[in-house]
Amino acid sequence: MNEALLEVRDLATHFFTRNGVIKPVDGVSFRVRRGEVLGLVGESGSGKSVTGFSLLGLIDPPGRIVSGSIRFEGRELVGMKPRELASIRGKRIAMVFQDPTMTLNPLLTVADQMRLALLAHERLSSRAIRDRSVEVLQIVGIPDAANRLGSYPHQFSGGMRQRVSLAIALLHRPPLIVADEPTTALDVSVQAQILSEVKQLVTNLGTSLIWISHDLATVSALADNIAVMYAGRIVESGPTRKVLANPLHPYTNGLLASLPARASRGLPLPFIPGTTPSLLDLPQGCRFAPRCRHADGICATMPELIPHGERAFRCHHPNLEPAA
Amino acid sequence: MTSRASILALRSFWDEFRENWIAVGALVVVLLIVLAALAAPLITPQDPYDLANLSLMDARRPPGYVGFGGYVHVLGTDAQGRDLYSAILYGLRISLQISLTAGVIALALGAVLGAGAAFVGGRVEAIIMRIVDLQLSFPAVLIALVLAATIGQGRTGLVFALVAAQYAYFARTAHGAASAERGKEYVEAALSIPLPSRTVVLRHILPNCMSPLIVVATIQIASAISLEATLSFLGLGLPPTEPSLGMLISEGFQYMLSGRYWISMYPGIALVILIVAVNLVGDQLRDQLNPRLKR
Amino acid sequence: MLLFVAQRVLQAIAVMLVVSLLVFVGVYAIGNPVDVMIGPDATQQMRDQLIERYGFDRPLYEQYFSFLWRLLHGDLGTSLVFNMPVLQLMSSRLPATLELTLAAVIGATVIGVPLGIYAGYRPESPLSRLIMSLSILGFSVPTFWIGLVLIFIFAVSLGWLPAGGRGDTVDIFGSQWSFLTLSGLQHLLLPALNLSLFKMALMIRLARAGTREAMLSDTVKYARGLGQSEWTVLRHHVFWLISIPLVTVFGLELGTTLAFAVVTETIFSWPGLGKLIIDSIFMLDRPVMIAYLVVVAFVFVTINLVIDIVYVALDPRLRKASS
């Protein structure tokens, strides 16, 4: 029985601003097992990135984690002292950010950045640092790795830069990697390439991965399990194939239907009417109700997350009939 | 913008300004000083320019001394027997007069030059901005110093020196803002009506550059006050018969070593209060007008 | 990179030529160069000799070239007051000014930058607020007045430090330096402090603003996400990220500091170039004034050149653009 590497329960992260309290994460629960890939899907404003940052405790004021639990390798991360948290970041959980142009220090060479990342957790000789750096660059498929160590981030193309980010994440062989929209800023062709490479990597190394994205298509190619987020909460989760074949939540349904790949030629592209609610001013009941075709009186109360076998849903009117 | 919209914008601007009580306090101080300076002839017992009023018997007296004219010298007297309180108020007046005049002229000159250059474009723009950049690589103090030394003492010379030292900052800022505006569509539209270029620049482009220009103006006015005082202190500013604050301080310097501190100290304090207050108001204006700090 | 340096050097030379032309036109074409070189009490015979020697009756362009020639050979004229070549006069005063300016600039940076980084790192702490308030005073209050206050407090009232003048000097390679003697340092402390305050205030404000921005940047978040300690973040990321704007302003304000040295030297009777120029202005020692203009222009052009090069050296992204 594969026990959970990461177990998140009722996580809530709020931002206390002059204009009010913003709740990007408001009761999120999911679990990731060893070697598993979880796709966290949602539109911008759904709170998925903030969820990712919350896992590593990277929430800057005026935000903070207000409640909930994050259990990782048997330890509770919420409320952990900064020093302990720092010892986990990069070593046991590593993060790949969306835009490597903003995250990789433009003034330092790749070699320097890797050295800093390595020395944050281990004492190593220069030789060992160099060897490990070359090694990870090779793993992610950067040609002529040894020579490229001395290059600066701006000397790489977008796709290569992201590979470098991935390489840095792999330096300590962490059991869990959190990737926040890693391919969104890249060309479509490069996206596909990186996607397949990551898939291979994950299988070979046995690393668990949380892949955060708004793009259902990329996630479906990679993830074992999917969790769909809307307005700060998980509205549906389960094994990818099952969720995509037979979505239970109207939102998931809408997302799937609006994928260009699924569209029929000549017919207008379906879309979900309305917009995501402002995180300052959330409706009392089901947060999707204003946009939902099936909404009625009962939807004024908040639906709970109901387990359904391997799956879960948060809806008063789930689509429980199996697909035709 | 319609006048109603402008009134609303001004009001919300003021509301935000009000939140920073330090800035409001500083604004009050500035206004008080301006009032005092304007009313100087009315609220001072002595006209420091009128040599007939002065008696050397009164010279270098400490605060509280009752002098020749029969009134109390609240802050003491200076080396010529001038009542320090009166001299300070007149001095503040001069400081404000000169720095504001120089500031306004420098702003107008720089804005027209910079925005005009951005509008005209081509080689003219390149040449003008080259000269501006060149001047910016030299410190304003030095330029003012050299010009003041060459032209000699006197108000016009001083204002000229200050304007020459400061217009470049305005020109650079105006050029940057105008270049950004020039590319925008409303300019194309205005030009194609067709409105004469001069109108487009004056009535359309310039108003939109006002915001960064005001930011620069606040820095420059405080700087001008300081510069004028420095030049006067060195003896390069106004003649000794028109006691600017800098000059009072410089006169009093030699007496400080023998313990008669008030001749330099009080004018100095007045000067510092004025500059710090202007800077504090300027800081707040800057924060409010800076689009990058909007949350 | 080399091409960039060569380009900038050529530009610098061009600027110097323009300045020399401006000075020439101002003095020789518009003004009367004879008055510049001799005092008003010279005889007609002396004037004629001068005109003959320097060719003031020659066409202007010839005069310009001989002027340039003289400049390049270090002939900056002869001081009317001191009766020695201006070049020699200025060189003898240079060490004093260098000492003062370097001490001020180094002090401003070494003290100001760490204070500013701290203020940016913990912006809400009472110490930070204190630092920021003091920094407003630092750049608002005119340098000359701070000097007066310093003298009043430390020299007149407390009597700890001297009120002016330079201390004992030591001869190094023919010039006189005072920072190696105790009395020299005592005399150097107040003026250097005075001169440094303006720049220090700027450095503090700049370092604080840059640090605040950097701390909220993705780069720092990412570094923290990798488990790097706060000290590593500050030292390797924040410090280098703010170095570029700091160097820019440092360079720009270097000129201002040199200019304000004039004021400080006057107040503290520090026998440097600044005091020389003020004295010369009042004593109408015109050759010195003109030479000063040319030398100052040269110094600033050089400073700007060096700053530009340092800029490119610091930011690897610029190297790509300039090559």
> Per-residue pLDDT tens for A106-117?
888 899 999 999
Structure tokens at C159: 């009597």
Query: How far is it, in rounded angstroms, from Cα C33 to Cα C45?
Result: 16
Shortest distance, CA C254 to any CA of chain A (angstroms)? 25
Chain A's closest residue to C216, CA to CA, is: A60
Whole-model pTM: value is 0.78
Burial class (CB in 10 A: 0-12, 13-18, 19+), B162: buried
List of chain C residues whose C-beta atoms are within 8 Å of the C-beta of residue B172: none
Answer whether B256 sits within 8 Å of C262, measured CB to CB: no
Residue B82 is encoded by which pair of tokens?
């001038």
Please list, residue by residue across C132-164, b when 16 or more beta carbons sit within 10 angstroms of its beta carbon and e when fewer do: beebbebbbbbbbbbbbbbbbebbeeeeebbbb
Local structure of residue B80 (DSSP, 8 states): T
C267's enclosing H/E stretch is helix C239-267
| Top-confidence range, A187-201, B30-44, B161-175, B201-215 | B161-175
Mutate to test the interface with C, among B133, B135, B256, B266 (most CBs of C within 10 A): B256
Residues of C in contact with B222 (CB under 8 A): 140
Q: At what angle do helices C182-215 and C143-150 cross, to 10 degrees?
A: 130
How many CB pairs below 8 A link A and C? 80
User: Which residues in chain C are contacts of A87 at CB distance < 8 A?
Assistant: 227
Nearest by CB: A58 against C225, C316, C317: C225
The residue with greater pLDDT, A44 or C56, is: A44
Q: What is the pLDDT of residues C210-219, one digit of tens each?
A: 898 888 888 8
Pairing of the two strands A4-17 and A63-72: antiparallel
* Helix (H) or strand (E) run with residue A30 in it: strand A20-33
Return the amino acid letter for A57: G
Quick check: helix, strand or coil at residue C41? coil
Of the candidates C218, C232, C317, the beta carbon closest to that of A120 is on C232
Backbone angles phi, psi at A238, to 5 degrees: 155, 180
Query: Could you say which of A91, A107, A117 has the minimum Cβ distance to residue C316?
Result: A107
Q: Which of A190, A213, A193 is nearest to A44 (CA)?
A: A213
Say if the Cβ atoms of C225 and A56 lie within 8 Å: yes
User: Minimal Cα distance from A113: which residue of C?
Assistant: C223
Give the model's pLDDT for residue B70.
64
Residues 101-140 of B with CB under 8 A from C: 134, 137-140
CA distance A152 to A110: 6
Q: Do B142 and C293 touch (CB under 8 A)?
A: no
Contact: C144, B246; criterion CB under 8 Å = yes
Q: Do B233 and C296 touch (CB under 8 A)?
A: no
Distance (Å, rounded) from C-alpha B177 to C-alpha C307? 26
B140: tokens are: 């304003």
Q: Which of A102, A108, A120 sits opposite C226 (nearest CB)?
A: A120
Residue B293 reports pLDDT greater than 50: no
The residue in chain B having the minimum alpha-carbon distance to the alpha carbon of residue C159 is: B257
pLDDT at residue B191 is higher than 80: no
Question: Model confidence over B58-90: pLDDT tens digits?
Answer: 666 677 666 666 666 677 777 777 778 888 888
Q: For residue C111, what pLDDT band results from cuts at 50, 70 and 90?
A: very high
The whole-number average pLDDT for the span B112-119 is 82
pLDDT band at C322 (very low <50, low <70, confident <90, very high): very low
Cα distance between residue A103 and residue C220, in whole Å: 8
C213-221, long-range: CB < 8 A, 24+ apart: C214/C120, C214/C238, C214/C241, C214/C242, C215/C120, C215/C121, C216/A60, C217/A102, C217/C241, C218/A97, C218/A99, C218/A102, C218/A103, C219/A102, C219/A103, C219/A104, C219/A105, C221/A53, C221/A58, C221/A60, C221/A97, C221/A103
Contacts of B265 in chain C (CB under 8 A): 152
* B215 and B285 Cβ atoms separated by less than 8 Å: yes
Backbone angles phi, psi at A33, to 5 degrees: -100, 170
Residue B60 burial (CB count, 10 A): 18
Question: In the complex, which subunits touch A with 3 or more CB pairs below 8 angstroms?
Answer: C
- Cβ-Cβ contacts under 8 Å, C222 against chain A: 95, 97, 103-104
Assembly ipTM: 0.83
Interface of B with C in 57-86 (CB under 8 A): none
Q: Name the closest residue on chain C to residue B142, using Cα atoms.
A: C259
Nearest residue to A57 via CA among A93, A97, A5: A93
The strand pairing partners of B77, in sequence order, are B83
Q: CB–CB of C247/C60 below 8 Å? A: no
| Exposure of C186 in the CB half-sphere (CA atoms within 13 A) | 12
Q: With an 8 Å Cβ cutoff, are B146 and C293 in contact?
A: yes
Neighbour-count burial for C83-104, b at 16+ CB within 10 Å, e otherwise? eebbbebbebbebbbebbbebb
Q: What is the dihedral of CA C4, C6, C8, C14, to 10 degrees?
A: -150
pLDDT at A324: 45
Do strands A208-213 and A176-180 pair parallel, antiparallel, or not at all (unpaired)?
A: parallel
Instruction: Please name the residue of chain A whose CA is at the shortest distance from the CA of residue C241.
Output: A107
Share of chain A above pLDDT 70, in %: 97
Taking contacts as CB-CB distances below 8 angstroms, the residues of chain A near C221 are 53, 58, 60, 97, 103
Q: In 3-state terms, what secondary structure has residue C176?
A: strand
The model's pLDDT over C270-311, given as tens digits with 9 standing for 90+, comes to 888 888 888 887 777 777 877 888 888 888 888 888 887 887
B280: pLDDT strictly greater than 80: yes
Q: A106, C314: Cβ pair inside 8 Å?
A: no
CB contact under 8 A, A58 and C221: yes
Tokens of A134: 């070359």
Contact (CB, 8 A) for A103 and C222: yes
Please return the burial class of B161, using the count of CB atoms within 10 Å of its CB with bins 0-12, 13-18 and 19+.
Answer: buried
- In this structure, what token pair is assigned to residue B147? 């010009």
N-term to C-term CA, chain B: 24
Find where tokens 């300081």 sit: B226
Q: Give the model's confidence band at C54: pLDDT under 50 very low, under 70 low, under 90 confident, else very high.
A: low
Measured in degrees and rounded to the nearest 5, phi and psi for residue A280 equal -90, -25
Closest chain B residue to the Cα of C163, Cα to Cα? B257
Option in C221, C228, C314 nearest A116 (CB): C228
A97:C227 CB<8 A: no
Chosen from A49, A83, A107 to mutate, greatest number of chain C CBs within 10 A: A107
- For residue A294, the tally of other CB atoms under 10 A from its CB is 14
Please list every residue in chain B whose beta carbon sits closer than 8 Å to the beta carbon of residue C142. Answer: 226, 229-230, 233, 246, 271-272, 275
Report the pLDDT value the prediction gives residue A293, as an integer from 0 to 100: 78
Q: For residues C122 and A267, what is the distance between their CA atoms, to the nearest angstrom?
A: 58
Q: Per DSSP, what are the bridge partners of residue A178?
A: A95, A210
Q: Nearest-CA residue of chain C relative to A165?
A: C222
Nearest Cα to B109, choosing from B37, B156, B162, B36? B162
